[in-house]
């Protein structure tokens, strides 16, 4: 059965589940083995998401499918809204978010208002904000 499971491609997450389900139904695979068969072909983020589930949840196909689709959708939306289209840009975005997590809320609001897109730009603006508002800090 595993040979018949289509290879998982991270760029085609949505369509993968549809193809997988059609094959599983056409071949009359019992639904209780769908999750196992699917997990044998998972790679990358989908595999990480699946391995973060409890054992009980990882055996339920609908839970696995929903969790993977939710994670993919959130990441895609975050990247699209931040205009991230390559690995380096994603790394910069993650560093920027981590930097903001270390700052007081007022500084984060200030940075967000200026739509900073790099850690170096954020650092300069954060320093300027703190120097300008010394009495607050």
Encode pLDDT of 55-114 as tens digits: 999 999 999 999 999 887 777 788 888 888 899 999 999 999 999 999 999 999 999 999
d(Cα 39, Cα 137) in Å, to the nearest integer?
A: 51
* Residue 91, both tokens: 């790394």
| pLDDT top residue among 23 and 77 | 23
Q: What is the pTM of this model?
A: 0.57
Same domain, 37 and 75: yes
d(Cα 108, Cα 114) in Å, to the nearest integer?
A: 10
> What domain count does the chain have?
2
Residue 59, domain extent: 1-81
Nearest to 104 by CA among 132, 78, 136: 136
Identify the domain boundary among 54, 81, 108: 81
- pLDDT tops 70 at residue 137: no
Same domain, 23 and 62: yes
Identify the domain boundary among 81, 112, 128: 81
Same domain, 91 and 70: no
User: What are the Cα distances from residue 81, in Å, to 55, 67, 74, 118?
Assistant: 34, 21, 11, 15
d(Cα 66, Cα 45) in Å, to the nearest integer?
A: 14
């Amino acid at each position: 059965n595993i040979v018949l499971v289509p290879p998982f491609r991270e760029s085609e997450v949505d369509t993968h589940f549809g193809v997988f389900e059609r094959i599983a139904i056409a071949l009359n695979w019992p639904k209780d083995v769908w999750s196992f068969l699917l997990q044998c072909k998972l790679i990358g983020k989908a595999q990480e998401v699946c391995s973060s589930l409890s054992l009980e949840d990882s055996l339920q196909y609908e839970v696995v499918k929903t969790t993977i689709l939710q994670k993919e959708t959130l990441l895609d939306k975050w990247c699209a809204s931040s205009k991230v289209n390559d690995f380096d840009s994603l790394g910069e975005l993650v560093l920027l978010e981590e930097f903001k997590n270390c700052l007081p809320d007022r500084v984060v609001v200030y940075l967000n208002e200026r739509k900073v897109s790099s850690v170096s730009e954020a650092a300069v603006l954060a320093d300027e904000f703190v120097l300008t508002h010394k009495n607050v800090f």
